[in-house]
Every structure is written in structure tokens, then in C-alpha cells.
Structure 1
Amino acid sequence: MSRIRSLFEIKTNRVLNVYCTAGYPQLNSTLDVMKALQENGADLIELGMPYSDPLADGPVIQHSSTIALANGMTIETLFAQLKDARKEINVPIILMGYMNPVLQYGFERFCKEAAAVGVDGLILPDLPEYEFETEYGAIIKANGLDFIFLVTPETSQERIKKLDSLSTGFLYAVSSSSTTGSDKNMTDVNAYLQKLKAMQLNNPVLVGFGIKDKQTFDTACAHANGAIIGTAYIKALEGTNNVAAATKAFLEGVLK
């Protein structure tokens, strides 16, 4: 059983997945950020691989990617940083990114090296379902990695069931069809999450986009297994010289 699936066996609700950009705020911040997240209550760590054209990301995460790239972050550097991460990091690690840099690195090589450094799963929003089924899914599975698909309020029930059947680990419920960091009408989000819950999907559901504080986290958790926070945490790290203190203060505000 994967680390992600094991987590959901132990903890069925209020699962907190926190997104951070690898190489932000400093190139060598990655492990410090991960340790601080683990120590202060994050159940999953979603590591963003910075990319110059991140389609699903809002301005805050785009800016963090720009800084990380300027700092010198690459996939090679990230894998080097993660080489000994499992000596200290016990929570599941997910890599989130886009197909272009992964394909340039070599998809099979990427999956093999990700697994070797203890990565548990992948989120690649621009990997189409057809290509996943016909080409890339087998490589991901062969390397023991979970793959998480995204669904939105506009995704049909038929397609939700299909993506749920292809996903392992969990299903990522995007709260609305916008970019990360946008404010959401949580009443509409509730109706959408209730619909997903009624479908009795195979995978646990984590909701993301617009989750930023205790109120939105609690609301998301009322109808899902947990939530994903990204933009608000990146903002909390902006300009800080003390990743541990900034992370502690931020997560206390969400989980208190």
C-alpha cells in the first residue's frame, strides 16, 4: 500500500495537503520548508516543480516559480535535494508540475528517479487522460507512483467517474474553474462537494483552490476528506528569513 493510501486509511478526514514551490524562497529552502510543514501538522506535502508557463497557477504561485527558477531550481537539483529527504520526512510527498519540463527530462527517467528519492505521487494537470491511458500511466505504475487527476465543478459525472477510476491516492477536486489563489463562493463549493460525496467515488477527495485559512479549511472538510492549501502558504513565506517560524504561525492559524 502506498504512503498516500496508508495515510487515508489512518486519517479519513481533515487531511491537510500543503503546496510549496521547490527552491522557494531560497534555492536551498526546499527541505527546510518540508521539515517545517511536517512538524506543524501537514499530512501531505505537494512540491511544485517551477515552470515558466504554469497554466493552473495564479499570480502568487507563478511569482514563486519565477523566483525559484531564478534561484537555479531544476528537476536535477530537486532530485539531488530530495536524495536524503526520507531520513527526516515521513509524510507522503507529491510532485506537482507540467509535462513540458518532465518530457524534456525524459518521462521514464523522471518517474524512476522520483521513486528512488521517495516521491509517492504525481500531479501533472496537463497530462491528458488518453495519453495517460495509452502511454504514460503504465510507466507511472511500474515505478510505484500514485497519479492524481483533477476534476472541476464543470466536469461531467461520467468523466468524474472515469478520472476517479484512473486516479490512485486521491482525487483533486478543484473548487472552481479558475487559477489558484482566487476567492471562491463557498456555498457553490459546498454543493459541488456534496455532489462528489454522493457519487461514492473510489478515491478520497481533497479540495483545492481558494483554501486559505481555518474557515475555508473547515468548510472544505465538511464534505471532503481534506483540503489543499497553496497560495496562502506561499504568501506566508514571502520575504521571510525564518521558514520554521512562518510555517508554524501559518499552520497554527489553519489548524487551531
Structure 2
Amino acid sequence: MNRLQQLFKTKTKDILSIYYTAGYPNLADTLTIAEALEKSGADFLEIGFPYSDPVADGPTIQASSKTALDAGMTLPILFEQLADLRKKVNIPILLMGYVNVVLQYGVDEFCKKCKEVGVDGCIIPDLPMYEFEELYQATFERYGLSNIFLVTPQTSDERIRKIDGLSNAFIYLVSSSATTGSNLAVSESSTSYFKRVADMKLKNPIVIGFGISDKASYAAANEYASGAIIGSAFVKALAENGKLTEKIEKFMRQIKP
């Protein structure tokens, strides 16, 4: 079992994941942020590797990706930065990004590097499910990596069941069809969508992301899932003035006092 699978085996509610972009706000901040987030109570982290055309991301994460790319962030540099990851951070780590970057690096080499540095899984939103199953699933499994699939309000029950069968950690429930950074509005339609998925009694736990930005939306998401993911709101907080670790501690206190 990797760290991610272990986490979901031992904790079933109020799991908090934080997303941030590698190399933002400064190129060398990646590991410092991970350490500070663990100390402040995050249960697992998603580290985004930036891409020049981040279609699923809203303006905040797009801007952070551009800053990181302009500073020189690449996948090889990210792996260099994560070389000492497991000397400093114990919680599960996911890498999140787009399939082109992984294909350019080489899928086998990417998975091998993830295992070497202690990454537990990946979220690659634009990797088609059938491609993963036919071409890459065996490689991910060989290196002990979990691949996390996204479900949206438009995803059919049949496809959700298929995703559940291919998953071995959790399923990422996208709160709406918007890009990242839109505020979670727990409306009648989103509530019925969350309930629909919850009522399917899937074997994998559900974590809700997109639009979780504060204590209230985190609590709302936790009513229907095992946990929630905060991304854009945290990336915004990193852009504020002040010492990096203090900004992180302050943000985390607002979510989990």
C-alpha cells in the first residue's frame, strides 16, 4: 500500500488536501511549502507541474503556472527539488499536471522518478481513461502509483462505475463544470449530484475539489465526501505579502482552526 491508500484506510472523514504549483511563488519554494503544509495539518498534497496551456485551470492557477515557467520550472527540476522529499515530509504527495508534459518526459521514466522521490500518485486530467487502461495502467502499478480520475456533474453512472473499477485510492469529484477557482455554490443541483454519487456506494472514497476556498465550503464538501481539495484560494494566499511559512499557517488556521 502506498501512503495515499494507507491514509484513506485509516481516515474516512474531514480529509484536507492542498494543491499548489511547483516553483511558485519562487522557484525554490516547492519543498518549503510542503513541509509547512504538513505541519499545519494538511492530510495530503497535490503539487502541480506547470504547463503552458492549462485548460482546466482558472486564472489564479494559470498565473501561478506562468510565473513558475518563467522562473525556469520544468519536470526534471521538480524531481531534483523532490529528491529530499521523504527526509522532510511524511504525508502522501500527488503530482498534478497535463499529459503532454508526461509524454515528453516519458511515461515509464516519469513513473520511475515518482517512485524514487516518494510520490504516491498522479492526477492527469486530460489523460483519457481508455489510454490509461490500455497503455499505462501496468506501468503505474509496477511503480506503486495511484492514478486519480476526475468525475464531473456530466459523468454518466456507467463511466463512474468504470472509473471506480480502475481506481485504487480515491475519486476526485469536480464540484461543477467550471474551471478551478470558481466558488463552490452548494445549490440544489450540486447537492443532488453529490448525493447521486454518494448513493452509488462506490468502493473508492470521494474527495471534492474545485471551488473549495474557506472553512464553510470545506465543511459543506465534507458532508458528502471523505474530504476536500483546496487549490486556487491557497495559491492566492501565497501571493500575499509576508513570510512564506507564516502565510501558510494563517491560511490553514482559517480552514482547520
Normalising by the smaller structure, the TM-score range is over 0.9
Alignment of 1:20-99 (within 5 A): 20-99=20-99
Q: Quote the RMSD (CA, aligned, Å).
A: 0.9
CA shift, 1:183, in A, is 2.2
CA shift, 1:193, in A, is 1.3
**Residue 199 (1) aligns with residue 200 (2):** yes
CA shift, 1:28, in A, is 0.3
Checking the alignment, whether the CA contact within 8 Å between 1:25 and 1:239 is kept in structure 2 is: no
CA distance in 2, matches of 1:232, 1:239: 11
Checking the alignment, whether the CA contact within 8 Å between 2:152 and 2:173 is kept in structure 1 is: yes
Alignment of 1:1-256 (within 5 A): 1-187=1-187, 188-256=189-257
Checking the alignment, whether the CA contact within 8 Å between 2:184 and 2:217 is kept in structure 1 is: no
Identity %: 51
Checking the alignment, whether the CA contact within 8 Å between 1:190 and 1:220 is kept in structure 2 is: no
CA shift, 1:155, in A, is 0.5
CA distance in 2, matches of 1:238, 1:75: 22
CA shift, 1:239, in A, is 4.1
With normalisation by structure 2, the TM-score equals 0.98
How many residues of Structure 1 are paired with residues of Structure 2 in the alignment? 256
With normalisation by structure 1, the TM-score equals 0.98
Q: Which runs of 5+ in 2 are unaligned?
A: none
Q: What are the Cα deviations for residues 152-191 of structure 1, in whole angstroms up to 9, with x where unaligned?
A: 0110111111111111211000001110001232123222
CA distance in 1, matches of 2:10, 2:142: 25
CA distance in 1, matches of 2:241, 2:8: 32
- Further displaced range: 23-32 or 237-246: 237-246
